[in-house]
Structure 1
Amino acid sequence: MATHRFRPTRYFNAIGVAEPCLRVADGDTLITDTIDASGLDAREVAVASRPNPMTGPFFIEGAEPGDTLAVRIDRLTPSRATGWTYSPLALTVLDPAAILNRPPQQRVVWDIDREAGTVRLQEKVKGLEDFAPPLQPMIGCFGVAPAGGQALSTATSAQNGGNMDYRLFAPGTTAWFPVAVPGALFYLGDGHASQGDGEIVGTGIETSFEMQVTFRVLKRTITWPRGETAEDIFTVGNARPLDQALQHATTEMSRWLGEDYGLDARAASHLMGQVVRYDVGNVFNPAFTVACRIARRWLPKR
């Protein structure tokens, strides 16, 4: 097992089949840089300057279609002291009548204080003079090349992952992705210094990052992304409307409980019906994201 330090010279705004930038082995660790859209210039972008530029793709030796790529998020370190967001609230989260009263879109800058572990608006906003939420780095967009030769925009998400904007994709989490092409072709980017559920202003606090992840190839098949933390397991559905995303996530969790925990459909329903928690990931972009989460303390012993 080796550790690779990779500095990208080009970025992608779609996740699909492309020439790998680096080949790594099962069990290897990768340290690389990601950049937010404000840091792009014309020489750096492979396709065009749009949101969510991705670093990659990384070819994982031994990953074959039908396998699962497990990606442990080891560390997410902001590489500059500022980030940015937009206001106001997105059209997708407001009553139609309220849309008429939305103020004009405005971009604002946040200071990232790594020592204090907080983020703070640079601009003085009435009522928010003491507002300093915690610095909570997460990955907004990452995943593997989809099946069928597709190249999916980094503005959306699907079975391969993508722009899910789920807050639990943070240090200490292991994300699972279904492998559809040889080598998986893994991309990552869209680092957020902080973000509430749903990405309801259209961004998290967007900034550039140094990210460290570790890869494992699992010889098993999954249908939708999954994840593990020390406290929980979760499954992710990406679709629109929101109820379809919830259906994908719920079905994938029922499968997981059967495969790994020996619960048939009836037993899984008893457990899920009482202890499932649903989290909202992205409700701004073309596909919405819902996570179906269960605390480990409720799971049968394996």
Structure 2
Amino acid sequence: MILQPGTGPVLGDVHLTAAPEHVLWGRLPCAADEPVLEVEPGTAVTVDTISHEGILEDQGRDPAAFFGAHGVTEVLADAVALAASEHPHRFGVDGPHVVSRPVAVAGAQVGDLLAMTLLDATPRVPYGVISNRHGKGVLVGEHPLGGAPVFSAFATVSEDGTHGLLPLTPGAEPTVAFPLRPFLGVMGVAVAGRQRPHSVPPGRHGGNVDIALLTAGSTLYLPVQADGGLAYVGDPHFAQGDGEVSLTAMEASLRATVRLDVVAREDALARFGELVGPLAETAEFLVPTGMDEDLDLAVADCVRAAVALLQARFGMDPSLAYAYLSAATDFRISQVVDVVKGVHATIRKSDFENDPAAPRHALRTRRAPAAGPAEP
């Protein structure tokens, strides 16, 4: 089934479409951006997201033609509208990602955490694309083969909707099946100031974190940098392996429902300590992160974040926390293709008898001040 604009179920309290006026392309929101919505904490927002694959300039900026060449007879109308619009996307200057314009959460202020919980991620199409471009990916200069500027692998979805399918050789019938685990590669809060950041490198604001664990039921906690939080999402994935080595994962459009909550500073400190970057939580794991252009430094930052989290959450001695992490915790490469490399740790919550930090969302009421227009 194709989830066109205006069709299918909307699970959230409010619905944000992917009409051109509701998205940014290649840049992330900043504090000067006017929110497209303002909601109360605890609100579930359903967002229609558009994958950048199939609409980029080096793919023709014509999704009907691009996907039609693979036998697709129906493409998303909002993807066609964005590609055909005068939306100010500067290919080679801006990033590729399509992200929602920001949603303000009443009461969120600098010092708090914004909690973004993915409640549902429903595929809008039964196909996706995995791409590699020259100068990108891990094997720069080796791939794409044959000198082509871009290689795009077209992937389909199994009839039961559980697996992605690829052929062993170009043009053959798809016989390689891998599990689908839909998630949003981009989840973030606006940066301070008036300059919109590039959509590719992740950072303290979140953004293009590309953590494949962030499937439905998971929460991403982000330090608020602008009053109102100004949350946004994008870069929908159907599946990704840790590392995302070729450049993209199975990129494809989702209808995502995200609950937005505010964790007041005093509660945040009790539960997590002083966060210097994104922290995720799943039913099973606490997931601190580390990010740097140097992968070694990203790992070190992630270990420091994990030690600090264990101190704050459980009162664990730092030397014992360091030892515990070595014996019991996996440190995974989130991605290595977004300039700033990412590492995340998977700390099992069940390893600890007592968790004194039960979730509490202390709310504030101060509204974000008005700001002038943002700059690219």
TM-score, structure 2 length as denominator?
0.73
**Contact 1:91 / 1:99 at 8 angstroms: preserved in 2?**
no
Q: How far 1:158 moved relative to its partner? A: 0.7
The worse-fitting range, judged by mean Cα deviation, of 40-49 and 207-216 is 40-49
Q: How far 1:269 moved relative to its partner? A: 1.6
**Contact 1:236 / 1:292 at 8 angstroms: preserved in 2?**
yes
Counterpart position of 2:61: none
Measured against aligned partners, the alpha-carbon deviations of 1:123-173 in whole angstroms (never above 9, x if no partner) come to 954898420111211211121112354422111111111112111111111
Counterpart position of 2:349: 296
Amino acid at match of 1:99: E
- What SS does the aligned partner of 2:327 have? helix
Counterpart position of 2:27: 14
Do residues 254 (structure 1) and 307 (structure 2) align? yes
Q: How far 1:44 moved relative to its partner? A: 7.1
Number of residue pairs aligned between Structure 1 and Structure 2: 299
Write the distance in 1 (CA, Å) between the matches of 2:285 and 2:86: 38
Give the direction of change, closer, same or farther, for the CA distance of 1:6–1:230 in structure 2 (3 Å limit).
same
Q: How far 1:266 moved relative to its partner? A: 2.0
Do residues 99 (structure 1) and 146 (structure 2) align? no
Structure 1: 5+ residue runs without aligned partners? none
Identical pairs, percent = 26
TM-score, structure 1 length as denominator?
0.90
Structure 2: 5+ residue runs without aligned partners? 1-11, 56-78, 269-273, 356-376
- RMSD of aligned Cα (Å): 2.5
Q: How far 1:289 moved relative to its partner? A: 0.7
The worse-fitting range, judged by mean Cα deviation, of 254-263 and 143-152 is 143-152
Do residues 5 (structure 1) and 47 (structure 2) align? no
- What SS does the aligned partner of 2:243 have? coil
Give the direction of change, closer, same or farther, for the CA distance of 1:235–1:162 in structure 2 (3 Å limit).
same
Give the direction of change, closer, same or farther, for the CA distance of 1:282–1:128 in structure 2 (3 Å limit).
farther
Counterpart position of 1:53: 98
The 5-angstrom pairing of residues 139-154 of structure 1 reads 139-154=184-199
Do residues 160 (structure 1) and 173 (structure 2) align? no
Amino acid at match of 1:154: S
Amino acid at match of 1:157: P
- What SS does the aligned partner of 1:80 have? coil
Write the distance in 1 (CA, Å) between the matches of 2:136 and 2:235: 22
- What SS does the aligned partner of 1:167 have? coil
**Contact 1:109 / 1:122 at 8 angstroms: preserved in 2?**
no
Write the distance in 2 (CA, Å) between the matches of 1:90 and 1:218: 40
Write the distance in 2 (CA, Å) between the matches of 1:151 and 1:299: 41
Write the distance in 1 (CA, Å) between the matches of 2:45 and 2:116: 10
Counterpart position of 1:26: 41
Amino acid at match of 2:14: H
Which structure: larger Rg?
2
Q: How far 1:264 moved relative to its partner? A: 2.6
Counterpart position of 2:85: 43
The structure richer in strand per residue is 1
Amino acid at match of 1:33: D
Do residues 224 (structure 1) and 277 (structure 2) align? yes
**Contact 1:70 / 1:215 at 8 angstroms: preserved in 2?**
yes
Give the direction of change, closer, same or farther, for the CA distance of 1:46–1:129 in structure 2 (3 Å limit).
closer
